[in-house]
Amino acid sequence: MPIRIPDDLPGRPTLEEEGVRVMDRSTAIRQDIRPLRIGLLNLMPNRVETEVQFARLLGASPLQIELTLVRLAAHQPTDRSRPHLDAFYRDWDELKDEKFDGFLITGAPLGMVPYEEITYWEELKTLLDWTETHVFAPLFVCWGAMAALHHFHGIAKEKLEEKASGVFPHTNHDITSPWLAGLGQEVPMPVSRWTTIPSASIEASDKLRMLLSSEATGAGLIEEPATRRLYMLNHLEYEAESLKEEYERDLAKGEPAKVPVNYFDGDDSKARPRHRWKPHGHLFYAGWVNEIYQAVPFDWTETT
């Protein structure tokens, strides 16, 4: 089935050129099925690229997806991105009485900035609490995962000695998990962050369990079984060039940047990067959508 997004969303032509089936509103209404409602709180500065990355993976599912783009009132956009947000995003305050089958919160380029110093932290905390009653299965990504772990469990992130950048093999600790169906014993995942969540903090919790981890970069995917929350520390949604673009941006800003590990052939930054995690990204997000579909009540999103 296709993914339902606004007809004139800038990323739509890219998805259609790649063969992702995109549905317009009139066609969706004619189908006598309930689409899965997925919300995306996009905190990344490259909003259009991030929208495309997640829509590409969600749109590969055999189920009909209705994707809602969400923003926070306290997260002030740049003048350049404001028209895009005004046209295609909904303020969270407008939809807080609605329910979602799934909800994604992305990363944000905030590094070690204390949570309490972030301008939209109070509003984000309120939204995180809202997911407990209005979202069937939340998925938090990178910084979003760290922020959620801090909010719900008081787990602090730790600064790495140097930025973790590259494609790292992750051990699958539970091949029977429905969230990891088909992924195999080892999962390559793009990593791009200055911080980490200590594995010991996860092991000490009786509410959390590690699903994927790397010897080099630590926790990769954490599950909270009682709430269906998933905390994804890395970026299976990344495109082939994403790490390359981040590496070049770091160099341009004069930051200490090493060539991303296991990414370019021969670790040659002039070589074309290989998209070796692509099938794993599709499997993971298809599995996430399918598990929601199998478990969510049919009338979950009806207002009560």
Question: Where in the sequence numbering do the catalytic residues fall?
Answer: 142, 235, 237
Distance (Å, rounded) from C-alpha 58 to C-alpha 90? 19
Cα dihedral 98, 227, 104, 186, rounded to 10, equals -160
β-strand partners of 170:
187
Distance (Å, rounded) from C-alpha 261 to C-alpha 302? 46
Distances (CA, A) of 51 to 5, 29, 249: 10, 23, 20
DSSP for 48-104, please give it.
HHHHHHHHHHHTTSSS-EEEEEEE-TTSPPPTTTHHHHHHH-EEHHHHTTS-EEEEE
**249 marked as binding residue:** yes
Residue with tokens 């009485």: 97
- The token duo for 175 is 């091949």
DSSP for 3-27, please give it.
EE--TT-TTHHHHHHTT--EE-HHH
Distance (Å, rounded) from C-alpha 269 to C-alpha 165? 13
Binding residues: 163, 192, 249
Q: Which residues are annotated as a binding site for substrate?
A: 163, 192, 249
